[in-house]
Amino acid sequence: MSKIIFLDIDGPMIPVRAFVLPGNKFAGGSAKCFDHVAVAMINTLVEFTGAKVVLSSSWRCHFTQEQMLVFFEREGLHITFHEDWATTWKFSSERCHEIKWWLDDYPETTHYVIIDDARMPENFFGLLENSIPVDPYDGLLFNDFRKAIEILGHTEQEYTDWSGEKRKRYFKNKPTQLDLFKELGVKPYEHFNEEN
């Protein structure tokens, strides 16, 4: 079973809203920092579903796979590229054609999701049904993330169970908020009284 995330950069990972991030303020028209929430959602999708990433972005024309991995790591994006790491651009080709050509070369792909701000055409080999048309201004949103989980063959309940177990392991030996209050000598809610 092979699961793939076709990932665009401008729009999903660097939406217009990302220009308010400190590292992007003086980028002069091109952002340098990914949206942190989008990074966390892609990391979670990869970890939860086991999907590999195929770059479906104009960035593939400017950077090598190694350069992209270094950039991704710097931005906190921890993914594994598929061995054929990027869709192929041909003169005047559109994103939908590039993804279809890639899928034709890898028929063992059982589930794939297209995360892109370019809308896939209707009735084009089922690409639209596997597509999440991300708003270029707001980027990847939580409902997009939920839809990606479903497209990659999982239920929301499976994700909830998985993330709940992960949180339990993470917080197992960490202090709770009440522990921190005790350590600081603060009684929770002591500043409230019945009149408030």
Reported as a single tens digit per residue, the pLDDT across 81-125 is: 999 999 987 776 788 889 999 999 999 999 999 999 988 877 787
**pLDDT reported for residue 121:** 79
The domain in which residue 35 lies consists of 2-184
Per-residue pLDDT tens for 116-128? 998 887 778 778 8
**pLDDT reported for residue 73:** 92
Q: Is residue 193 situated within a structural domain?
A: no
Say if CB 46 and CB 89 are below 8 A apart: no
Residue 196 has pLDDT above 50, yes or no: no
Say if CB 20 and CB 126 are below 8 A apart: no
**CATH code: domain of residue 43:** 3.40.50
Q: Is residue 93 situated within a structural domain?
A: yes
Q: Is residue 176 situated within a structural domain?
A: yes
**pLDDT reported for residue 168:** 79
